[in-house]
Structure 1
Amino acid sequence: MQFGIATFLTDYGIEPVDLGRAVEERGFDALFLTEHTHIPVSRRSPYPGGGELPRKYAHTHDPFVALGAIAAVTERVALGTAVSLINQHHPVNLAKEVASVDRISRGRFELGIGPGWNTEEMRHHGVDPARRTAAMLERLAALRAIWTQDEAEFHGEFVDFDPIWSWPKPTRVPPVLIGGGGPTVLDRVVEHGDGWIPLRLRLSELDAFAARVRELRDRSAGRYRSVTIFGAVPTPEALESYVEAGADRLLYALTDQDGPGARDATLAELDAFANLIN
């Protein structure tokens, strides 16, 4: 079992470089950042967590810029997105951003992806919410073409470009973790992903989750696909349950901190998580 941290890295909380160093110094295996390019003021899309949308959603750093800075001051910790809304990026630009972070980190980057939930945010980027999953998978295919071909081209429904030159190439094709928990998510993981990243599982859902992990492994035909849980419950009992369910990595979510004491409060929370896993 590996252990990591997931967070909404904001402009009012701990600085990216401070967080990256602190995560690595405490022995965690991974640091994953969330992504929203912006939040529409209309707020017509209901917050999936219920109630008012937390402030942090509109204040996140660009994850690729932040992870590039973190990569430069760390040596070991895996760096990733949980999750990147890749429909809101042109694949040509995103391929270069991901490859750059991967090169700076010397092959430590993992790309967690999802279609998103905020339909107004999608529409601002020209994405049809009804086709968001299909668009996501096509963009992923375009990314892989750019990463692996010296003269990549792609002609699809959502992405279309003639042969291009685009370097740097990543040190490897970055592992892609497919986000989500819906009835068809395992189809996407098996067909398009290197791993699965379900979000915030309730402990009451772990029996059903364990059955899905077994299904994923049965369907993977000898190719191992990792399972990373975003927002793991930070208790010893939960940790044991996650192990029994077949998870490979747990990401503990940091509390949103603001004000003069934000940095110290975040470091104290990291210490508490480190004590739990050690």
Structure 2
Amino acid sequence: MDAGVAYFPTHDGLQPAEIARLVEERGHRWLMWAEHTHIPASRLTPWGGFEGAPPLPRKYVHTYDPFVASAYALAATTSLRVGTGIALVPQRDPITTAKEVASLDHLSGGRFDFGVGAGWNREEMENHGVNPKTRMRRMREHILAMRAIWTQHEASFAGDFVNFERIWSDPKPLQKPHPPILVGGNGPTVLDRVLEYGDAWMPNAFDVDTLLPRIAELRSRADRPIEVVVMGPPAEVGVLEAYENGGVDRVLFWLPSGRRSVVEAELDRVEAVMAELHDRPA
């Protein structure tokens, strides 16, 4: 099991190019960004979408656009894979997003990973003209439409939310058929979405007894290799060992949004835990 990191790239913390160089120098292979275009001041939807959630951390309001952050990070590195963890696909125009993903992948030499999700903040979606009740259907169409744009010289798509005929959009992504699509989410139907259009499942970390049976179900239903990438696991050797034994391919640790000393302290802790995990007898 490998490890990478994820980060809210805020304007008052390490800048995207700085943190990308730092994590690459320290031997990490993945850096993923969160996305929120804004946070509605009403705060009607609780953080994470469930009642009793703690107050929303400040970083959610102060985050750079993940595609802009990716451009800086990819330009500042040579081997690091960079991507979205996650992009709120229903809130984005699919033709524009397809162009952004393809451009980043092409310019970086094929180092972009496209983590996708439907989001949890209902007021944020509504401000983008998205009905929260149809966001999963909209996300499906957006992704299928983007795949058509990436893989067809003259793409067309007809759906309930996306419609276009015979468009040209180049360059195509360097990775074929397109950059990896990592489908985020922990809900009851997420595996259906992964199996239809994903290359990986990227759940938020939850308890081992719940996660491992779902991994087994995913692998039993899949007709192709599908990675499992757990977002935000605890830095605890016992939990990570159970994940590894249960078939998790990669974990992504959230780094604090802050200055270099704060980020490096957390990297030290993460790297020590992973070293202890890998040093255990087989």
Please give the range of the TM-score, normalised by the shorter of the 2 chains. Answer: over 0.9
**Aligned runs of 1:46-65 on 2, under 5 Å?**
46-48=46-48, 50-65=53-68
Contact 1:36 1:57 survives alignment (8 Å): yes
After superposition, the CA RMSD in angstroms is 1.2
Which residues of structure 2 form unaligned runs of 5+?
276-282
Matched with 1:276 is 273
For structure 1, the residue ranges without an aligned partner over 5 or more in a row are none
Q: Is the 8 A contact 2:208 2:239 kept in 1?
A: no
Q: 2: distance between equivalents of 1:70 and 1:45? A: 32
Contact conserved, 2:5 with 2:30, CA < 8 A, in 1?
Answer: yes
C-alpha distance in structure 1 between counterparts of 2:166 and 2:41, whole Å? 39
1:184 alignment partner in structure 2: 189
SS in 1 for 2:47: coil
The 8 Å contact of residues 26 and 271 in structure 1, kept in 2 or not, is answered as no
Structure 2 counterpart of 1:23: 23
User: Which position in structure 2 is the counterpart of 1:233?
Assistant: 234
Structure-1 separation of matches of 2:147 and 2:217: 26
What's the CA shift string for 1:222-241, capped at 9, x where partnerless? Answer: x1100000001112222211
| Per-residue Cα deviation, 1:17-57 (whole angstroms, up to 9, x for no partner) | 11001111111121111101111111111112712211111
- How far apart, in 2, do the equivalents of 1:263 and 1:208 lie? 35
Asked whether 1:79 is paired with 2:82, we answer yes
| Corresponding position: 1:135 with 2:132 | no
Structure 1 residue 269 displacement after superposition: 1.6
TM-score scaled to structure 1, two decimals? 0.94
Partners of 1:276 and 1:24 lie apart in 2 by: 18
Quick one: which of 87, 92, 111 aligns to 2:95? 92
Report the AA paired with residue 188 of structure 1: R
Equivalent pairs, count: 270
Which amino acid is 1:19 matched to? I
Residue in 1 aligned with 2:167? 164
**Aligned partners of 2:38 and 2:165: how far apart in 1?**
30
Q: Deviations over 1:112-133 (max 9, x none)?
A: 1111011111011111100000
Contact 1:9-1:61 at 8 Å conserved across structures? yes
The alpha-carbon deviation at position 110 of structure 1 amounts to 1.1
* Per-residue deviation, 1:263: 2.0
8 Å Cα contact 1:27/1:274 also seen in 2: no
Is the CA contact 1:28–1:274 (under 8 Å) kept in the aligned structure 2?
no
CA–CA separation in structure 2 for the residues paired with 1:237 and 1:58 = 34
CA contact (8 A) 2:125 2:132 kept: yes
Secondary structure of the residue that 1:158 maps to in structure 2? coil
User: Which residue is equivalent to 2:208?
Assistant: 206
Given that 1:207 and 1:245 are in contact with CA atoms closer than 8 Å, whether structure 2 keeps it comes out as no
1:2 and 1:30 map into 2 onto residues whose CA distance is 10
Structure 2-normalised TM-score? 0.93
Shift of 1:200: 2.7
SS of the equivalent of 1:70 reads helix
